[in-house]
Amino acid sequence: MFQAQVFTLYPEFFPGPLAKGLYGKALSNKLWNLNVVNIRDAATDKHKTVDDTPYGGGTGMLLKPDILAKSLDQRVKKDERIFYLSPKGKKFDQKFAKDLSKEKSISLICGHFEGVDERVLDTRNIEEISIGDYVLSGGETAALVVLDTILRLLPGVLGNKKSAIDETFENGLLEYPQYTKPQIWEEKPVPEVLLSGDHAKIKDWRLSQSEAITRDRRPDLWQKYKKN
């Protein structure tokens, strides 16, 4: 069973959308599990303080290293990879998700305010992950993105195994366009080839569509694909 652990100041964010549909089913079937830890529980003063002002000045507050470390040290397993969701981190992508889906367990730290004291990242060997080049107010939505991407790769979670194979990014290309009933909708018919029953022809058509879309929309992916 894949075990995820999230450290947050807002435990009510979780499992949130991850308890719906196939993920909810997989959660009750014990294909994965989520442990949510409230960082504030590690605070010791009467106000349950978790943050303080940055040395050297500047706006905002930082998560205190002693509090965060205490919270982590009580819960993180030996040799478990710990990730801090951070705009400065390594860019998260499908390959990264695939690697993480092979771990037995991972811990994710959601920052808030201006971030966390750097020393806790160094001393606890924490890896930083960014979900994109923009700044969120907190790491919770980023943790949900990371977990969503990993969960659909776990064996048995998606009903149809093949659905994860053809997809965008799996072969270095964006996915081809797809159509369902009705066959003619608002006077627009679905592409003729898809009705032909000729599987080889359909495969060729889909590949050429994937290539055209990738070339057009993502020159970066297209260059990589052409090299392989």
Is the C-alpha dihedral spanning 136, 142, 144, 149 positive or negative?
A: positive
Helices (H), the chain: 21-28, 65-75, 94-101, 118-123, 140-151, 199-217, 219-227
107 binds ligand SAH (CB under 6 A): no
Residue 12: phi and psi, rounded to 5, are: -70, -10
138 binds ligand SAH (CB under 6 A): yes
Among 108, 112, 121, 126, binds ligand SAH (CB under 6 A): 112
88 binds ligand SAH (CB under 6 A): yes
Q: Which amino acid is at 146?
A: V
Among 6, 108, 110, 121, binds ligand SAH (CB under 6 A): 110
Residue with Cβ nearer ligand SAH (136 or 157): 136
Residue with Cβ nearer ligand SAH (26 or 108): 108
Among 67, 120, 126, 131, binds ligand SAH (CB under 6 A): 131
- Residue with tokens 């981190």, as numbered in its chain: 89
102 binds ligand SAH (CB under 6 A): no
64 binds ligand SAH (CB under 6 A): no
Beta bridge partners of 83: 108, 127
Residue ranges that bind ligand SAH, judged by CB under 6 A: 85-88, 110-112, 114-115, 130-132, 134-139, 142
